[in-house]
Structure 1
Amino acid sequence: MTQTHSIGLLGYGRICRALADYVERDPAFELAYVYVRSPRDDLPTDRQVTDLAELSDRPVDLVVEGAAPEAVAGLGDAVLPTSDLMLLSGSALVDPDVEEGLERLADEHGTAVYLPHAALLGVDGLVDARSELESVDIEATKAPSHLDFDYTDEWDEEAVTERTVLYEGPVRGLCRMFPRNFNSHAAVALASLGLDDTRSRLVADPDADSALHVISASGEGFDLEITRDSAIEGVTGDYTLVSIWGSIRRVLDADGGLRFV
């Protein structure tokens, strides 16, 4: 008999709506609940949870967080005692207390915290080469209309009328300025040289019609470069949706056949 994988979703924005559709179409998966702050008309009542404290009484195989970075700090106590957690808001980990708190709770309860590569590629290779890496740089180019300026006072969308470098420095700083846009940069940094030694460069280009990311990594005897160019809606690129679904399936070992490691 085929095993059914139970999924809980935290949030119901574009990514979690897409994941709910993937789950509903796959008979090997079951959507156990969606945590939302207030009841929604576009979700069955029996699927909605509005009290975070209830989640510890509803264990699932994997809880996928797709809410917002500021919500992550309060999730560990509710989720990790009974379920594994996949964080899509990796930018939340720029706060060392949040990262350490989640790791401590997972260790205490024998659960796991997963960080998907999401929009970017090559995280597995960076993990493998971590001890030999000398530099890791990520350059992102997006239209200003696809950036969320709500968290920064240094720039606003209307001021960017031509191709402009908005940020250049450690990944930690970029994730603080644009926490909803660069969770994948946090994943690359944490997989390689860390949030302070991995560097990001953000270019805002009003003429850009896609989301372009270039990762460059170097070490003794090797140089790596990975380019990803994807259509984008809002702050989320189309590739990100299929990428996260793939990460979920790998975490739960939902696919048979060859295992790619």
Structure 2
Amino acid sequence: MASDLKKQKIVRRVGIVGYGHLGQYLVNAVQESDQLELAFVWNRTAENMMGKVDDSLILQDLSKFEERKSDLIVEVAHPTITTQYGEAFLRVADYMIGSPTALANQEVENKLRAAAIHNGLYIPNGAFWGGNDIKKMADRGTLHALKVTMTKHPTCFKLNGELKEKNAKVKEGEIVTLYDGPVRDLCPLAPNNVNTMAAASIAAHNLGFDKVQGCLVADSRMTDWHIVEVEVTGPGDVATGHVFNVSTKRKNPSKLGVVTGNATYASFVSSMLGAKAMGPGVHLC
């Protein structure tokens, strides 16, 4: 009887792409939910799922995702998934992109926006605080500037190129600004760390990836937290300094060497539950 009642309540079949720490958390959340049903789980290394996910739910070949009849596909693997499969996902299901740094590539963003004509492209807020309010300002054209600063222990960054080299040189007790500039240029250098900034760039659509500013700080004393600071600037009189401004500081408990802070896991579950019924187009969730 309980099983029959759960089937009556199921509203969404969800496919999870990625089975790292966050992917495992989401899979468990889906299986415990009376609103969701697991359609499939894919991971680059399928062996990591053996004994943890029922064999019938493991998708060995991601190109065959359509066979699983998902209502929502959730990516928590790597930005390249969106580049390779994003358009195809959107043809048959809503798509929640957990690595929105992929959209820093203008061509990829354009293609996905064009593909989101029958289903929704959902961007989870994750660690980004105040996203809906910022989007409202962008909609009205009253958002003049936005800066997001992320501070973490050096071991919590997974970086590429010059930033990787710079981060490796951070010494005990040091605080080093690794980057301070447009989010678009930062995303390829830190694709796993700055999804918060990418989400900010989507919310602040009148500024976009080129005008939203991102600042990445390595703090060797930051052993227990990830900190995200958001500074919003709106209309006013610059000459007098009477300008609309909102600043927030989010402290997320985290362990050394971990990319995603503790509170972000629950935020992703909320986003997954909310990624529905908004229709075609791009939506924050």
Which TM-score applies when normalising by structure 1? Answer: 0.91
Note the 1:202-221 alignment, pairs <5 A: 202-209=216-223, 210-221=225-236
Q: Which residue of 2 aligns with 1:169?
A: 181
Structure 1: give runs of 5+ residues left out of the alignment: 254-260
Matched, 1:15 2:22: yes
1:37 CA displacement: 2.7
1:106 CA displacement: 2.1
* 1:56–1:81 contact (8 Å) kept in structure 2: no
* Residue identity opposite 2:40 in structure 1: Y
1:52 CA displacement: 1.9
* C-alpha distance in structure 1 between counterparts of 2:176 and 2:193, whole Å: 17
1:77 CA displacement: 4.3
Q: Deviations over 1:100-159 (max 9, x none)?
A: 12122222xx1111111111110000000111011111111100000002x223443431
1:57 CA displacement: 2.4
Note the 1:1-261 alignment, pairs <5 A: 1-40=8-47, 41=50, 42-107=52-117, 110-130=118-138, 131-149=141-159, 151-156=160-165, 157-161=167-171, 162-192=174-204, 193-209=207-223, 210-221=225-236, 222-233=244-255, 234-252=258-276
* 2:9–2:34 contact (8 Å) kept in structure 1: no
Q: Which residue of 2 aligns with 1:258?
A: none
SS in 1 for 2:214: strand
* Residue identity opposite 2:181 in structure 1: G
SS in 2 for 1:214: strand
Percent identity of equivalent pairs: 29
Label 1:47 to 1:208 Cα distance change in 2 as closer, same or farther (>3 A).
same
* C-alpha distance in structure 2 between counterparts of 1:158 and 1:218, whole Å: 33
SS in 1 for 2:53: coil
Q: Deviations over 1:78-113 (max 9, x none)?
A: 412211100011101111111112122222xx1111
Label 1:154 to 1:140 Cα distance change in 2 as closer, same or farther (>3 A).
closer
Q: CA RMSD in A?
A: 1.7
* 1:7–1:62 contact (8 Å) kept in structure 2: yes
* C-alpha distance in structure 2 between counterparts of 1:28 and 1:71, whole Å: 26
* Residue identity opposite 1:10 in structure 2: V
* 1:55–1:78 contact (8 Å) kept in structure 2: no
* C-alpha distance in structure 2 between counterparts of 1:75 and 1:165, whole Å: 34
* Residue identity opposite 1:129 in structure 2: M
* Residue identity opposite 1:114 in structure 2: Y
SS in 2 for 1:117: coil
* C-alpha distance in structure 2 between counterparts of 1:205 and 1:106, whole Å: 39
1:29 CA displacement: 1.5
Structure 2: give runs of 5+ residues left out of the alignment: 1-7, 237-243, 278-284
SS in 1 for 2:274: helix
1:249 CA displacement: 1.4
Q: Which residue of 2 aligns with 1:256?
A: none
* C-alpha distance in structure 1 between counterparts of 2:269 and 2:134, whole Å: 21
* Residue identity opposite 2:208 in structure 1: G
* C-alpha distance in structure 2 between counterparts of 1:214 and 1:114, whole Å: 23
Label 1:154 to 1:212 Cα distance change in 2 as closer, same or farther (>3 A).
closer
* C-alpha distance in structure 1 between counterparts of 2:181 and 2:39, whole Å: 41
* C-alpha distance in structure 2 between counterparts of 1:16 and 1:101, whole Å: 25
Which TM-score applies when normalising by structure 2? Answer: 0.83
SS in 2 for 1:30: strand
SS in 2 for 1:153: helix
**Which 4+ residue blocks in structure 1 deviate beyond 6 angstroms?**
none
* 1:53–1:78 contact (8 Å) kept in structure 2: no
